[in-house]
Amino acid sequence: MDYKETYQAWLDAKGLDPALRAELLSIADDPGQQEERFYTELAFGTAGLRGVLGAGTNRMNVHVVRRATQGLADYLNTFPDARERGVAIAYDSRHMSDAFARESALVLAQNGIPVYLYDTLHSVPQLSFTILHLHCKAGIVITASHNPPAYNGYKVYWEHGGQAGPEQAKEILQYIQKVDYFSVQPMEQQAALSAGLLKMIGKEVDEAYYASIKTLLLHPELVKEKGKELKLVYTPLHGSGCVPVREILKRIGIVNVSIVAEQEKPDGDFPTVKAPNPEDPAAFSLAIPLADQVGADAILATDPDSDRLGAAVRRRDGGFSVLTGNQIGSLLIHYILSTKAAQGTLPANGLVVKSLVSTRMADAICAHYGVEIREQIAQCEATGQRQFLFGFEESFGFLAGTFARDKDAICAAMLLSEACVAYREENKTLYDVLQEMYKTYGYFKESVKSYTLEGKAGLEKIAAAMASLRQSPPKEFAQAAIVAYEDFKTRERRTAAGAVEPITLPQSDVLRYFLDNGAWLCIRPSGTEPKLKLYIGANAPEEAQVDDLLARLMAAADEMLQGLLA
C-alpha cells in the first residue's frame, strides 16, 4: 500500500485509539503530513524503535508499541526458557513512557510471558542490572534517551543485559513485520497480576544495584571520611537520575549535594532545556549559577534515562569548564588505572573499551599503564580472557564493572565524585588533573558537527551523501593526505599503498579516514535521528597547534559535506 491507502486503513481500523483518530482526522487535507507519517515504518535496530510521538506507522504510539511487543513475544516464545525467566521493563520521564511500559507488559502477559515491571521511573543501567539480577530472558526500556521532548522510544535488551545486537534485531524485526497493528490485545492488568504474569519490582532490586556498584569504589574509606567536604551540584534534567544518583552519593559519604530545583522533578516537556542532553553546555545554564552560589567544586548532569553523564569542573580562576565526553572518559580511565597501579591491583589482562569516534588520548593512557584498549560499537561482553575495567563513548556514555551491560551514568557519577574527593586530598581539581594529563600525553582534542535534515527528503539526502563518499572517496583533508580509509559497511580497511584488510567489528554505515598528520575523521548517519554526524580528532604537543589543526580540518570537511547535502 502507498501512504494514502495506509492512512485510510488506519482511519478505518475499529481498534484505533480515539486520540490518534482525532489526530489523523486533523490532517485529512494535508497530504504532506500523511506521507510523513505513513511513507515508512519506524526502523527497528540495535537501539530498538525511536521516533516522534503521534499517529502513524512512522510515529511512536500505542499501536506501534503493541505490535513491536507482540513480535518480540513471538520471538521469545521460540526459546524454551522464556516463559520461566520472563522480561524486565523500565521507563523514563518522557510523555507516554509509563503507558507504553504498561502496554508492553500486558501484551507479553497475554502471550504467557511473565513480566517484572518497575512502578516508578527507573534508569537504563538499573534495567540492565535487573535483567542479570533476576535472570530474565530479555528486557525493555521505554525511552528516547536525550532526544527532544517530541520523541519516545522502545529499546530491547537480551539476557546478557546489553541491547539486542544487529543480527538479533533483524530476527526480532521479522516477527514484528508479521503482526497487524490492530490485532494485538493486551491482557487486563488485574488479570495479569492475579495470574502472576505481572510482578512489580520492589526496593530489593534497587538495594542490590546500589550494593553492587559500591564495590567499584577505589577509596571507599577516604570517601566515607572526606566526602562530606566535597560540594557538588547535580541536575537530573527532569529525568530518572534524580533518585539513584542522589542515593548512591549519599551512601558513599558525599552528602553536600545541591540539586537544581527547576530541573529536579520528572517532566516530559523538559521545559528548562532545548533538549535534555548533558552533551550540550546549555544544559548547565541553571546549574552553574547555583554552583557559584553554593561554592561547588563540580557539577554533574544526567539525561532522562540516566545512561549519559555530563560534568563541569571548577578552574583555578573560579570559573567552570564544561567537560566533553572524551575528557570525562579520559579522566576516569586515568583515575582508575593510576589508582589500581598504585594499589598494586591493576590486572595484567585488563581491558578498556571505547567507541570508534572516541578520543585517542584513551589509547595513550592505556599504553602508559600497559592495558589493552579495543574499539567497539556494540556493548562489551566481558570474557574470561580479559578483565573489563572501563568502557566509554565520546557521547557521554560510561561503564565500569559488569553488573550492568549498558552505559551507566549513576555509576559514573559515583566514580567521578570519588575522583574529586581523592584529588582534593592532593589539593587538585579535576581541571588540574586534566592539564597534567595533557602535559604527559599531549593535547588530544576532538570536534563534532551534526547536520540535521528532517523527514523523508532529509534521509534521502543523507543516504545520497554517504553513497557519493563511497563512490568518490576523498584523497585529503586540509592538505593532509589520507593514509588509510575504513568502510564499516563493506567491513574493509584500505591503505594509500593499496593494501586491503578486513574489519572485524560489526557492520554499520560508517566511514573513517586516517591522515598523515595523525588526525582522523569519521562520518556516519545517526542511528536514532535524521542527522549526519562528522567527528574529527587530532593531537599535538601544544594546545594552539591542535586547535589550529582541528579548525582547518573542520572547515575542509564541512565544505565537502555541505556540498554533498545541498
Which cell goes with 220? 571507599
Pairing, β 198-201 against β 115-118: parallel
The residues, ordered by sequence, that sit 6+ positions from 306 with a Cβ below 8 Å of its Cβ are 92, 123, 124, 125, 126, 236, 239, 240, 241, 244, 245, 408, 409, 410
* CB-CB neighbours of 499 under 10 Å: 9
CA dihedral over 14, 20, 24, 25, signed as positive or negative:
positive
DSSP 289-324: HHHHHHT-SEEEEE-TTS--EEEEEE-TTS-EEEPP
Grid coordinates of 299: 557539577
What residue type is assigned to position 242 of the chain? C
Contacts of 161 (CB under 8 A, 6+ apart): 128, 129, 131, 132, 139, 404, 405, 406
Question: 157 and 85 in contact (C-beta within 8 Å)?
Answer: no
3 state SS for 122-150: CCHHHHHHHHHHCCCCEEEEECCCCCCCC
Residues with a catalytic annotation lie at 145
The SS3 of residue 379 is coil
Whether 113 and 76 have beta carbons less than 8 Å apart is answered as: yes
How far is residue 80 CA from its own chain's centroid? 31
